[in-house]
Chain A
Amino acid sequence: MMKYEAVIGLEVHAQMLTDTKMFCGCSTRFGSEPNTQTCPVCIGMPGVLPVMNKKALEFTIKTGLATNCKISPYSRFARKNYFYPDLPKGYQISQYELPICEGGYIEIVLDGEAKRIGITRIHMEEDAGKNIHEGSGPYSFVDLNRAGIPLMEIVSEPDIRSPKEAAEYMKKLRTILRYLGVCDGNMEQGSLRCDANVSIRPVGQKEYGTRAEVKNINSFKFVEKAMEYEIKRQIKVVEEGGRVIQETRLWDSNKGITESMRGKEEAHDYRYFPEPDLVPIAADKEWIDEIRSTLPELPDAKRERFISGYGIPEYDADLLTEEKVRAEWFEDAVKAGGKPKIVANWIITNIFKRLKEEDKEINETLLKPKHLVSLLSLIDAGSTSSTMAKTIILDEIFKSGKMPEDIVKEKGLVQISDAGEIEKAIDEILAKSQKEVERYKSGDEKLIGFFVGQIMKATKGKANPQMVNELLKKKLS
């Protein structure tokens, strides 16, 4: 039986986090009333002209530098012509022949192996508006708030060979964009969009197969699923003696399949030509160097530093550096005196669990690095149990932002580490449980748990569990 491999290239559209639109001064705020963030320029009135948002250019150059691209000293905008109600000018201002960034790559790590995915180009363009289909009338509505919001289109080489790699690439790209602060990376809200060119070929064959373009992958979790489906579909087509046709397919997340858009958007001729209303972009070297000097430490470098500098496991370093705010939070905690390995472990286990429950990022809660550090030192000193720390105390910090030592005091959670007091409690329980003591002594050692439970109950959970264990065993022997 023939073995196939997938060939995937991704075209990612990232909405830039600029305050104003690409070619006018309108706000880019999300979620306002329809058509309230518009002006003659972004609604395509007669006679008005675009003026490039320099911040958008800076963001694009930043992204190019962070993905190892060459920044073109001479670049220009082009018009992409087509009719659609959400495209007010009848053309989109984009870049075609001379994009601002070319020839870069992103490194992904999969099963411990690093792989470079080439970036063909990154260019700037403006977003279209939105058509809203509401009510039963014969009309649709057009909201142009989004029209003109700056986008970056990031086009990868067809270097991706599996759905897992595609997902990893998207994840890495998103992380880089968020590190740079140029895009919030929110696929569900549409500020990060991904179209995929997918084809298959027999393993060993050099030529590419015919590709299908998969659109509408509107959530992170669907990147892998959509690719998996499409690859299986293409293999099935070929194995049944058919041929894959070049077409656009839409991912339907409800059905979990891709469907042909046949006829809807076939054979567009966009009639690209240089945008005569904007002068060519000449990004001078000094400015590019200046932008380069403002680049933050990027995730790969940070990850390496965390592993070698703090000695934390690769797995922990991966998770911590995935978001810049997590990495910063971690480092703040270490700076405040936390032991790196323990801090990392606590974040990844106890804190992540809660963040997931509350659907928040680490910097969006009342828990600050100082809380964790003081909590860890309370455990260290035996002033509280780690069980207590993970449960009641952490709960309270998330709720009120109070310092752990105050919580311990207020709730009377100070651990009993006084041997005399613990022994007294043990004696009382053993005296009440003569039968169990005898069974234990005749070999039923599982009963130790029963005794511990009783003692903890009697001390309202405050007894130092380690001491209870030790003293109990001594008494019973």
Chain B
Amino acid sequence: MKLNELTISELRRLLDDREVKPGEVLDDIYNRIDAVDDKVKSYITITKDVAYEMAKDAEQAILSNKASLLTGIPVAVKDNMCTKDISTTCASKILHNFKPPYESTVTARLKEQGYILTGKTNLDEFAMGSSTENSGFHTTRNPWDLERVPGGSSGGSAAAVAADECIAALGSDTGGSIRQPAALCGVVGLKPTYGRVSRYGLVAFASSLDQIGPITKNVADAAIMLNAIAGHDPSDSTSAPMDVPDFANVLGHDIKGLKIGIPKEYFIEGMDKDIEDSVRTAIKKLESLGAIPVEVSLPHTGYAVATYYILATSEASSNLARYDGVKYGFRVDGKDLLDMYMNTRAQGFGSEVKRRIMLGTYALSAGYYEAYYKKGQQVRTLIKQDFDNAFKNVDVIVTPTSPSAAFKIGEKATDPLQMYLSDIFTISVNLAGVPAISIPCGFTRDNLPVGLQIIGKHFDEESIFKIAYAYEQSTEWHLRRPQL
């Protein structure tokens, strides 16, 4: 077995026992990248030199018995998280030459834990999309079927994990951007509670919804990654000033008697039969492990997508105003200031980003603010209340992650509305700010992975981990690997 195919826990043992060296792990990683990334295209930037430098430090730490959680573990980072002096593009032409002079809090924390950066992964431009087809550079392929999308926007990270081009990865999730690609690529993806992980250094798409989380090969690795990155950060006022539990502690706990809510609004007419079957079977599995399924209702689910696309685009229209060609990044000169602004933004942004800037600008405009943005905020409150009410009776809520498995490249690219519906099961979670994981729970008849979403209460990632781990231990979906 190649070292790049192992998990964090497996490698941790091998590294700590000095059976392998960080450099050897890296060799396997980069051999794999050399072999498959032409096809999969997970990465925008490969940071090989930096990685081998970091590997030296890791080796030193291990030799002096100072290994931490991630010492010597190769991790890929979505290219919308700032890495000091390393290109951070957001898959946008407008930042094609941007090298931040600062480090994001998450990567700084990974560094403290000794990680090795393999490279920066592809995404839909500014994390806006569900397929990576909106990347300003290239489309990432699904390792299970290269004709299909890996999902998005963290498609590069999910594909890299699925294709063993890294051991684990970071993604960001605004409306499903970790969970949906994790589901489509057959890996584990966790969106933590809003405020659990610092957003400092994450290039903002929609500040009130964005959250960074891990994409990994199994649940235990997700817990380790969250342990590394979670916790209050004085540089992010929206990060929660709360103590963080050791998430690995709950793995292996009995789930007998835990109540799992099944929201009736998520099992709807016209849903992909294979997906529904896999998810229903998974719920039966959980029941057999002692969990108690309870039907719950999230009555405002039907408004979630519309609400999301008003609020997220409103914030985006403002967050993306700074890319004006004045201070950094891409610039196209013009005959005057306005001309320079317009040329720069017209040529620097892709069409989906422009579409969302326009939508958001419209929703915030005088005369429309009340009808759109304000109304959206009110519905968001109702959606939050839906979850609060449901969680009075259950410990977690279980749903499909995505209404369909990986779709063909180009299939939805020309129909933004169809594309927006890819996130129909994940979006409410961001609006409510609660945590959720996607874990592999089966395959369609086309041999495409299916994801099970487990949603928890605010700051109760522990229940999610407990149930996800119990399920994973009693199934073998997560062990399947794509043939490349």
Which of A's residues lie within 8 Å of B, judged by CB? 40, 43-52, 79, 81, 83, 85, 88-91, 142, 269, 271-273, 276-279
Contacts and interface: CB of A to CB of B under 8 A. Distances in A.
Contacts of A90: 318, 320-322, 324
Contacts of B315: 273, 276
Interface in B102-147: 102, 104
Given A45-B102, A47-B82, A81 B373 contact: no
Interface string B221-246: 00000000000001111100000000
A470 to B, nearest CB: 79
Contacts of B373: 273
B297 interface: no
Nearest to A24: B235
Given A85-B326, A271-B365, A273-B373, A45 B100 contact: yes
Contact of B322 (A44, A142, A271): A44
Contacts of A279: 237-238
Contact of A273 (B98, B204, B314): B314
A47 B204 contact: yes
B199 to A, nearest CB: 7
B322 A49 contact: no
Interface residues of B, number: 45
Interface of B: 80-82, 88, 90, 95, 98, 100-102, 104, 199-204, 206-208, 234-238, 314-315, 317-318, 320-324, 326-328, 337, 341, 361, 364-366, 369, 373
Contacts of A273: 314-315, 318, 364, 369, 373
Contacts of A278: 237-238
Contacts of A52: 237
Given A83-B341, A269-B365, A276-B207, A47 B200 contact: yes
Contacts of B369: 271, 273
Contacts of B204: 46-47, 277
28 contacts: A40-B100, A43-B327, A45-B100, A45-B322, A46-B90, A46-B98, A46-B100, A46-B203, A47-B80, A47-B82, A47-B100, A47-B203, A49-B200, A81-B317, A83-B341, A88-B327, A90-B320, A271-B318, A271-B365, A273-B314, A273-B315, A273-B364, A273-B369, A273-B373, A276-B206, A276-B238, A276-B315, A279-B237
A40 B203 CA distance: 12
A75 B181 CA distance: 38
B321 A46 contact: no
Given A45-B102, A45-B328, A47-B201, A269 B237 contact: no
B321 A81 contact: yes
Question: Quick one: which of A81, A271, A278 has the most chain B CB within 10 A?
Answer: A271
A81 B237 contact: no
A269 B101 contact: no
Contacts of B328: 45
Contacts of B366: 269, 271
Contacts of A46: 82, 88, 90, 95, 98, 100, 203-204, 322-323
B179 to A, nearest CB: 21
B201 A91 contact: no
Can you list the 7 inter-chain pairs with the closest CB atoms, starting with the nearest? A90-B321, A271-B364, A276-B207, A276-B208, A46-B203, A47-B203, A44-B322
